[in-house]
Amino acid sequence: MTMADGKRYEVTVISKATFLADRSDPAKGEYAFSYTITITNTGDVSAQLVSRHWIITDAEHKVQEVKGLGVVGQQPLLKPGENFEYTSGTSIPTPVGTMRGSFQMRADDGHSFEAAIASFTLSVPRTLH
């Protein structure tokens, strides 16, 4: 593979998490978060998001794995330069945790590749007095 081929299959993923106080119950160990994901095709070939794999870790190092087809019921096809944004949610039993994972992509030419989702923090904001 030459350097020019390196950008052919490339997807950039940006994550932002928000604590959902109205859906959380700390007394029961339930901390809910929403997360917004922006997926941008930064490669040279159209690619479809086929499936997802999330690894969610709480502060006690308990891990939940989530695998499934598409995201929010969709399998978006992204042409070069296009992006797709969605918001979903998760809950963990501790006030802090992390999420990371990958999207399995299929390019128009049939080539399959993974788009890494860098680890991001799920955290209850500190209350100032």
CA 6 to chain centre: 22
Got the DSSP string for 96-117? EEEEEEEEEEEETTS-EEEEEE
In a domain, 65, yes or no: yes
Q: What number is the average pLDDT over the span 19-41?
A: 97
Number of domains in the chain: 1
Residue 120, domain member (yes or no): no
Looking at the predicted structure, is the pLDDT value of residue 13 above 60?
A: yes
Residues 6+ apart with CB under 8 A from 129: none
Task: Give the CATH number, domain containing residue 56.
Answer: 2.60.40.1470
Which residue range is the domain that position 102 belongs to?
3-114
The partner residues of 48 in beta bridges, in order of sequence, read: 77, 106
pTM above 0.75, yes or no: yes
Per-residue confidence (pLDDT) for residue 7, from 0 to 100:
79
Q: What are the tokens at 100?
A: 């990371």
pLDDT in tens, 67-76: 999 999 999 9
The 10 Å Cβ neighbour count of residue 36 is 13
Is residue 61 domain-resident? yes
Quick: pLDDT tens for 105-121: 999 999 999 999 999 99
